Structure 1
Amino acid sequence: MTALADQGLLDLGPETLEYRMIGPRPDAAPTLVMLHEGLGCVGMWGDFPDKLAAATGCGVFVYSRAGYGKSSPVPLPRQITYMHEEASQSLPRLLDAIGFQRGILVGHSDGASIAAIYGGSHQDHRVRGLVLMAPHFIVEDVSVRSIAAAREAYNGADLRTRLAKYHSNVDVAFRGWNDVWLENDFRQWDISEELAYIRVPILIVQGVDDQYGTVRQIEIAQEECYCPVDVALLPGVKHNPAREATDITLQMVSDFVRRILRSHETAASAA
């Protein structure tokens, strides 16, 4: 494969994805692959990926899923299976295309759910752990209420204007996320079964005041997973720990990453 530039567009055939690569490339160090939230993209992570690379010594690969940022658009309406499709089709192609050799998936919200689905449906020995920030494994009433409120904010133009700074086709980005939750029988969406098949350690980082999910999401992971599940429940934080509590989130994630990767290195040297 061609060496990854610091940023650009990754041609995966069916889709072209915007990306940034910070730090060492996958052939030189473990890689943290970051999967954004339902309205996120490369740019909306801010400098958190850069801080994570500096704190861990890992390479950090950040990308915008199709329909977001500067990536290729997607046809609407999306189906309620869109996160499963990301985990079964797009993410495997991406990992192979960047030459991913070993590392951890770091997901936020929708991205956390996609990472969990991937971890539970692919026995990918390159993936050593999962960091799930504000994940959702089931749909709660609070989730639907907040998504409905987001639609009102978008129709009122303020949210649309802010999102348009990051997304080339802002209506596709917003409606591809919002409509699928509000206009389908999304309450039947449930990925708790996949959790039982994850075979790597998990860190869940969630705000106590998360407006999109309650601690029930954490309880489900603790009930269903057979793998170790570490939890960082952050008081005074809503749905975006990386933005709202950057320092403590960075510390929690970095400590987990270093511990998981170090344990693999120790096991490999012992063998």
Structure 2
Amino acid sequence: MGRRLAPVEVAGVDVLDLPGDPARRPLVLLHEGLGSIGLWRDTPRTLAGATGRRVVAYSRPGHGRSAPPPGGARTAAFFDREADVVLPALLDGLGITAPLLVGHSDGATIALLHAARHPVGGVVAIAPHVFVETDAVGGIEDAVRAFEEGDLRARMTKHHDDPDHVFRSWSDLWLDPRFWSWTIEDEIAPLAAPLLLVHGARDHYGTLAQLDRIEAAVSASRVQRLVVDAGHSPHLDRPEVLRDAIAGFAAGLP
């Protein structure tokens, strides 16, 4: 798998671009809050093989080997900027129109927002969140302890140029009480593209209430739901199940 820097307006975005059938819409992968290209593991290559489609994964600004984002503390506006500025610029630079989005956690939130405002062929939302749950706050507090007292920081150093920025931007936002009233349910109401919603039954960052709220909010006429025996990363815990589910979902789409 080769990486290249995409020629986009958001300079320095690190991109993994795997070729596929040019007649079919590409899959574009959006990683979690602490993620990067590398932390998808084998998922991009597996999906390329299972679907025959072009697969693109990228590290958001400040993640992985991508250039830092604009300065300042992260706020809820981060999700909108990623959905409305960074992702459209990336797609334009790669010549991609109306892709199938595969988002995980924060990446699923960004994918849902983008799909509500821009043309897409479909969305796979893995462990999505559209409002803040108590479970999420508790899980992030556990992650802070692992970062400060355990080996999480050392593990993140292998995948990020600036692991401290990645972690603190994520944890500080989610642990800010001012953020706990955040929701995007109204914002995703226009979303009409086909949806595959995936939840891990052992997810310590959220519950099935997230999927319930999404289904109630969106305008999509085709919504599939998959609950698997997994934690917050079903594509890593149960890769074959997710591969087959995503390939089956994509098979019925252009």
TM range (shorter): over 0.9
Residue 69 of structure 2 corresponds to residue 45 of structure 1:
no
**Does structure 1 conserve the Cα–Cα contact (< 8 Å) formed by 2:10 and 2:89?**
no
Residue 195 of structure 2 corresponds to residue 202 of structure 1:
yes
Letter in 2 for 1:230: Q
User: TM-score, length-normalised on structure 1?
Assistant: 0.89
Secondary structure of the residue that 1:16 maps to in structure 2? coil
2:232 equivalent among 230, 239, 242? 239
2:170 equivalent among 163, 166, 177? 177
**Does structure 1 conserve the Cα–Cα contact (< 8 Å) formed by 2:126 and 2:199?**
yes
| Structure 1 unaligned residues grouped into runs of 5+ | 262-271
1:141 equivalent among 125, 134, 145? 134
Letter in 2 for 1:188: S
Letter in 2 for 1:120: A
Q: 1:10, CA displacement in angstroms? A: 2.2
Q: 1:252, CA displacement in angstroms? A: 0.6
**Distance in 1 between residues matched to 2:163 and 2:249, nearest whole Å:** 34
Which residues of 2 match residues 260-271 of structure 1 at below 5 A?
260-261=253-254
**Distance in 1 between residues matched to 2:148 and 2:245, nearest whole Å:** 36
Residue 145 of structure 2 corresponds to residue 152 of structure 1:
yes
**Does structure 2 conserve the Cα–Cα contact (< 8 Å) formed by 1:67 and 1:176?**
no
Deviations 1:188-232 (CA, angstroms, capped at 9, x unpaired): 110111221001110001111111110000111121122121000
Deviations 1:228-254 (CA, angstroms, capped at 9, x unpaired): 21000113x110011001110111111
User: TM-score, length-normalised on structure 2?
Assistant: 0.95
Deviations 1:35-88 (CA, angstroms, capped at 9, x unpaired): 000000000001111010000000000000001000011324212210111111
Q: Which has the higher mean CA deviation after the structures are superposed, 180-189 or 54-63?
A: 180-189
Residue matched to 1:267: none
Q: 1:107, CA displacement in angstroms? A: 0.3
**Distance in 1 between residues matched to 2:188 and 2:224, nearest whole Å:** 14
Q: 1:121, CA displacement in angstroms? A: 2.0
Residue matched to 2:217: 224
**Distance in 2 between residues matched to 1:14 and 1:223, nearest whole Å:** 34
Q: 1:102, CA displacement in angstroms? A: 4.3
Residue matched to 1:108: 104
**Distance in 1 between residues matched to 2:57 and 2:253, nearest whole Å:** 20
Residue matched to 2:19: 23
**Does structure 2 conserve the Cα–Cα contact (< 8 Å) formed by 1:221 and 1:229?**
no
Residue matched to 1:79: 75
Q: Which has the higher mean CA deviation after the structures are superposed, 75-84 or 246-255?
A: 75-84
CA spacing shift, 1:48–1:140, aligned 2, 3 Å: same
| Structure 2 unaligned residues grouped into runs of 5+ | none
**Does structure 2 conserve the Cα–Cα contact (< 8 Å) formed by 1:73 and 1:172?**
no
Residue 3 of structure 2 corresponds to residue 7 of structure 1:
yes
**Does structure 2 conserve the Cα–Cα contact (< 8 Å) formed by 1:80 and 1:184?**
no
Secondary structure of the residue that 1:24 maps to in structure 2? coil
RMSD, aligned CA? 1.5
Letter in 1 for 2:32: E
